[in-house]
Amino acid sequence: MRTRPDVFVVGQAIGKPTYIAWAVKKGNTDVLKMVDAALLELRKSGEMYQLQQKWLGASYKDMPQSVN
């Protein structure tokens, strides 16, 4: 979005928030724990919000910790 604002834009909310998920094979709890831990660490360090700001032009600090 930042490098091509003529092509990409963040749309306005039209309903309840939805969240993108990472697909993990059902029953593969080790991979799920690894992905969850990595994402939580990115949040704690602030790197996730820096990346959001860099690529989306906004950061979303009010995202839930879990949507399970």
* pLDDT at 28 (0 to 100): 92
* pLDDT at 8 (0 to 100): 83
pLDDT tens across 17-54, in order? 766 777 889 999 999 889 888 988 999 999 999 998 99
Helix extents (H) in 1-68: 29-45, 47-56
Q: Could you state, in order of their start, the residue ranges of all structural domains in the chain?
A: 1-7+25-59
pTM of the model: 0.61
pLDDT reading at 68 higher than 60: no
* pLDDT at 2 (0 to 100): 73
Residue 59 and residue 49 in contact, taking contact as beta carbons nearer than 8 Å: yes
Closest CA to 39 of 11, 1, 67, 17: 67
Residue 2 and residue 55 in contact, taking contact as beta carbons nearer than 8 Å: yes
